[in-house]
Amino acid sequence: MVIAGAAWRDPWWKLRDRLLSSAGFRRWAAAFPLTRRIARRRAAALFDIAGGFVYSQVLLACVRLRLFEALAHGPQAEANLAARLQLPADATRRLLAAAAALELVEPRGDDRWGLGSLGAVMVGNRAIAAMIEHHDALYADLADPVALLRGPSGPTRLERFWPYALGQQPAALGPDDVAPYSELMAASVTLVTEQLLDATRLDDHRCLLDVGGGEGACLAAVAERAPHLRLMLFDLPAVAQRARGAIAARPFADRITVHGGDFLRDPLPRGADVVTLVRVLHDHDDPSAEQLLGAVFATLPADGRLLIAEPMAGTTGAAAMGDAYFGFYLLAMRQGRPRTAAEITRMLQRTGFDRIRELPTAQPLQARVLSARRP
Ligand SMILES: C[S@@+](CC[C@H](N)C(=O)[O-])C[C@H]1O[C@@H](n2cnc3c(N)ncnc32)[C@H](O)[C@@H]1O
């Protein structure tokens, strides 16, 4: 990204761009011993971007065929796998070769196959599998990315999947409207909750309110980690109804109260001294996001704390996840945008929060956490 005031470097960038766009220079760099490795690495990086969709579909095939579960208890003979996956022998070999190239599986000799280092992570990982399956809808919307950028004429698949993004009266959404996304969120929230709960201590708080808390999967994890806390959940009425059902039989049910409403129209329940926004803020355009922060500010007592946990743009080592993946995901959803920690910090300051700081997480790709206090 170009930094303001960096125009003095323009001549250097001009030279670099001129060299890299010259076929002759590329040929020379690929042959010259000192630049050969760099040239090959750059070519592979560009190919990976071009081929990324194919790699994703190989992974989707593995997930749908439950290949990782098939290998979870040890290597399997290729013929056994073909029978289990119900694929012809040559298709099985082609899938396994592709998955091996992506480190999802590994050949283990004697026509046997085991888990690869990335495939092993997928075993029993409902959260990632659910997101991979859900990409179906995202990829359908991305089939014509230019049309998407220009603004499609009708609703996108993701807009229909997230019907509160369609707008007018989210509180009027019914059980069938919210079920698909609520199930996906409940299946995948562990990725974020672990990061949040490992990053902070909640000992000093009495009552935690999870705003946009879905079916209560995040609160369930909080309940286990912090047995002293009273808990509240706020979400759209139809989602709140699902949360009540999901929580009813859990041992911590008597510690949780569930509230239904629209956080852009209705006041948030009072009484909490810590509020969480988990994967909520980036779903909303700036005016709604600031309004939501204002509602949280209004409900907190002096010294009350807000914790924001979500994947953020500009994350070191995961830049593509923020601006490329979430940038285009939220474009397809037609609401919200990935924000950097600095942008969220400025929003929090404008709302009146202070003592804003980032709490480091072990996997910033999955979630970063900002903590802020009401003065
Ligand atoms: C992306 S989901 C995140 C759910 C949960 N925090 C998680 O990470 O699994 C966003 C949540 O915000 C809720 N939400 C969206 N707009 C809302 C509104 N205007 N009022 C109340 N809840 C809303 C949705 O129903 C949904 O449960």
Handedness of CA 126, 131, 132, 133 (dihedral sign): positive
305 in a structural domain: yes
- Same domain assignment for residues 107 and 176: no
- Same domain assignment for residues 187 and 276: yes
- Same domain assignment for residues 78 and 176: no
Number of domains in the chain: 2
| Segment 82-87 long-range contacts (CB within 8 Å, at least 24 positions apart) | none
Ligand 1 and 374: CB distance under 6 A? no
- Same domain assignment for residues 54 and 147: no
Tell me the CA–centroid distance for residue 114 and ligand 1, in Å: 39
User: By percentage, how much of the chain surpasses pLDDT 70?
Assistant: 99
pLDDT of residue 168: 76
Segments forming the whole domain that contains residue 112: 36-122
Query: Any idea what DSSP says for residue 50?
Result: H
191/56: higher pLDDT: 56
Which CATH number goes with the domain that contains 213?
Answer: 3.40.50.150
* Domain end call among 96, 122, 148: 122
**Which pLDDT tens digit goes with each residue over 252-280?**
999 999 999 999 999 999 999 999 999 99
In the predicted model, is pLDDT for residue 2 greater than 60?
no
7 in a structural domain: no
Ligand 1 and 237: CB distance under 6 A? no
118 in a structural domain: yes
Distance CA 159, CA 168 (A): 13
Ligand 1 and 278: CB distance under 6 A? yes
Tell me the CA–centroid distance for residue 214 and ligand 1, in Å: 6
Tell me the CA–centroid distance for residue 212 and ligand 1, in Å: 4
Ligand 1 and 213: CB distance under 6 A? yes
- Same domain assignment for residues 150 and 214: yes
Which residue's alpha carbon is nearest to atom 18 within ligand 1?
Answer: 262
Ligand 1 and 326: CB distance under 6 A? no
17 in a structural domain: no
30 in a structural domain: no
4/307: higher pLDDT: 307
352 in a structural domain: yes
Distance CA 234, CA 68 (A): 37
With 0-12 CB in 10 A as exposed, 13-18 as middle and 19+ as buried, what is 291?
Answer: middle
**Which pLDDT tens digit goes with each residue over 63-97?**
999 999 999 999 999 999 999 999 999 999 999 99
pLDDT of residue 1: 53
**pTM of the entire predicted model:** 0.92
* Domain end call among 122, 155, 174: 122
Q: Which of 166, 280, 335 has most ligand 1 atoms within 8 Å of CB, for mutation?
A: 280
| Residue 182 binned pLDDT confidence (cut-offs 50, 70, 90) | very high
285, 338 Cβ separation under 8 angstroms: no
